[in-house]
Structure 1
Amino acid sequence: MSTDFQQARLALGVRLRELRTEAGLSGRDLSSQLGWQASKVSRLENGKQTPSLSDLDAWVAAVGQPDSAAELRGRLQGLETRYRSWRRQLAAGHRPRQEAGITETNRSEVVRSFEAGVVPGMLQTADYARHVLSRYVDLRGTPRDIELAVNARMQRQAALYEGGRKFHLLMWEAALHVLLCPPDVLAGQLDRLIGLLGLSSVSLGIIPLGAPMTLAPGDGFSIYDDRLVISETWSAELWLDEPQEIALFSTIWEALNASAVYGHRAHRLIARARSSLDQA
């Protein structure tokens, strides 16, 4: 979780505590009035839990401050603009998230991305994407709209063939070997990567496993022009648009890129991974 997000959640908790104390209520009084466990009031006030809209509405009603509802909702919206839990993000399935990706891609002229354990989504085959998305549907228990999500991911790739856009994509060599899918599906994916190496809109860098690095590969992220970073964690997706945050991720991308190989050297790594599948 980002430090800025946590600081904002702490500030929201402080404001909730102010409203409670101004009403002359103890935490126990408020929890009893709302029918909550006392620990919930404490978690919200100490920035340990993100409130829902219904939590905020109940809070302002209980402390007799309905006019504060808009302020609190605004604070919460600011949090959720930055930090989107997968539970909320994927509540309606994977397709809406893929369509959001289409929107951001279409708004951008330059996209820089990094992935450590999977092939970047912009380069995935439909079969590979189907297996990857299935894994995360199973992990998070989200709606199984896999075919719709795969179709949306394939639509997003149309941007690769449109003029005026550049995609600078980095991946760790490990992603060429991770079997999130059957070997024949991974083989087809690697064949596609080789075919894309000559595409003018795509610059594909691969970081060899033994390459000297100044930073360890971490979570995947994408930088859209210099206006937005989307970074994925196991539990959430961060949408970051503050200049200093974008600058930080640009620095991270450049550090990773310094260890990457391109052209015939990237081709050699992909071909080696492809050959290993034939020998298995």
Structure 2
Amino acid sequence: MSTDFQQARVALGARLRELRTSGPDGRLTGTALAERLGWPHSKVYKLENGRQTATAEDLTVWAEATGQPAVADELHSRLRGLESRHRSWRRQLSAGHRAVQEVHNAAQANSAVLRAWESSWIVGVLQTPDYARAILTRFSELHRSKHDVEDAVRARMQRQSGLYDANRRYHVLLWEAVLHTRICPPSVLAGQLDRLLGIVGLDTVELGIVPLGATLKVPPGVGFWIYDDRQVIVETWDAELWLDDTDSVTTHLRTWSALRESAVFGSEAQRLISQARRALST
């Protein structure tokens, strides 16, 4: 979780505490507010101390219960500011996986230079439909979300039109382990590796593979995208972080550059991909 996000959540909690203690009907104790809302007291404590992210409904009823319903719009605005950076999967996937894919399609379409590091799977823009289907199915099961995988696959495939845009450049780094990860049937992985072999040499794509035996300047860590050196997207198990502050972008650019120093490209990258492809037959 980003430091900026946590600071903003703490600030929202402080504002909630202020509303509780300075309402028109006088100060409410945390216990009294919890009883009024039908919540456990621990929820009030967690919200006020920035240990839990409020929902829009939480903020509406808080404003009403403290006798200040007009403040709800302000609280909702603060929440939108939080969610523009920390986007929980629970909330994003309430509308299904297709909607999430369309958000990423738009973000990539508005970028000219895209850098990626991935240590867990093949990045979406280079996936085959079958591989994408396997990945999205796993995430749908993990998050127990709306099962609109086929719509999501079609949306993800639309993103690949950018690979043939002469004004766009993709600089993608993959950890070699990704080439061997059996998150899908062997036949699907074989097709995906064939797809990667065809990507090497594409004018708009620089594909690098970081070998398992390479000396690394930084640990592999989690995957991320950098758009036009202005925005970073990091995916975790429970959320995505959309970061645009200078420190976050600079740190991820340095991390990406450090990982790139350990990568191989061109024929050496093809050799590692072909080696993984042959291993599927043994």
TM-score range, shorter chain: over 0.9
- For 1:12, what is the secondary structure of its paired residue? helix
Q: Are residue 9 (structure 1) and residue 9 (structure 2) matched?
A: yes
**1:86 and 2:96 aligned:** no
Give 3-state SS (helix, strand or coil) of 2:233's partner. Answer: strand
Letter in 1 for 2:209: I
Q: Whole-Å Cα distance in 1 between the matches of residues 150 and 39 of structure 2?
A: 41
Task: Please say which of residues 61-70 and 76-85 is displaced more in the overlay.
Answer: 61-70
* Matched AA of 2:4: D
Q: Which residue of 1 aligns with 2:118?
A: 115
Instruction: Provide, for residues 104-139 of structure 1, a one-character-per-residue CA deviation record: whole Å limited to 9, x for no partner.
Output: 111110000111011111111111111111111111
Unaligned runs of 5+ in 1: none
Are residues 1:102 and 2:118 paired? no
Q: Which residue of 1 aligns with 2:264?
A: 261
**Percent identity of paired positions between Structure 1 and Structure 2:** 56
Say which SS state the counterpart of residue 206 (structure 2) adopts: strand
In 2, the alpha carbon distance for the partners of 1:90 and 1:219 equals 21
C-alpha RMSD of the superposition: 1.0
C-alpha separation in 1, matches of 2:254 and 2:264: 18
- Measured after TM superposition, the shift of residue 180 of structure 1 is 0.8
Q: Give the superposition deviation at 1:68.
A: 2.1
Matched with 1:128 is 131
Q: Which amino acid aligns with 2:168?
A: R
What TM-score do you get using the length of structure 2 for normalisation? Answer: 0.97
User: Which amino acid letter does the alignment assign opposite residue 223 of structure 2?
Assistant: G
For 1:60 and 1:127, how far apart are their aligned partners in 2?
Answer: 48
Secondary structure of the 1:230 match is: strand
- 1:5 CA displacement: 1.0
What does residue 41 of structure 1 align with?
Answer: 44
Cα distance in 2 for residues equivalent to 1:192 and 1:233: 26
| Aligned-residue offset at 1:83 | 0.4
1:12-31 equivalent positions in 2, closer than 5 A? 12-23=12-23, 24-31=27-34
Task: Determine the C-alpha separation between the residues in 1 that align with 2:101 and 2:62.
Answer: 35
- Report the alpha carbon displacement of residue 47 of structure 1 after superposing the two structures with TM: 0.8
Give, as a single letter, the amino acid of the residue that structure 1 aligns with 2:138.
Answer: R
Matches within 5 A, 1:49-64: 49-64=52-67
Q: Separation in 2 of the partners of 1:149 and 1:33?
A: 42
Q: Choose the corresponding residue for 2:250, options 243, 247, 251.
A: 247
Distance in 2 (alpha carbons) for counterparts of 1:181 and 1:55 = 40
Whether 2:219 is the aligned partner of 1:216: answer yes
Gaps (5+ residues) in structure 2? none
Distance 1:71 1:52 in 2: 14
User: Which position in structure 2 is the counterpart of 1:147?
Assistant: 150
Superposed CA offset, 1:16-56 (max 9, x none)? 11111113111011111112111111111111111111111
Alpha-carbon deviation of 1:70?
2.2
Paired residues, number: 279
SS at match of 1:205: strand
- For 1:189, give the aligned amino acid: Q
- Residue 241 of structure 2 is matched in structure 1 by 238
Give the CA deviation at 1:67: 3.0
Could you say what secondary structure the match of 1:91 adopts? Answer: helix
Deviation at 1:227, TM superposition (A): 2.2
Q: Which deviations, in whole Å up to 9, do the C-alpha atoms of 1:202-248 show, x marking residues without a partner?
A: 00010000111111111111111122211100110011111221111
Are 1:274 and 2:277 an aligned pair?
yes
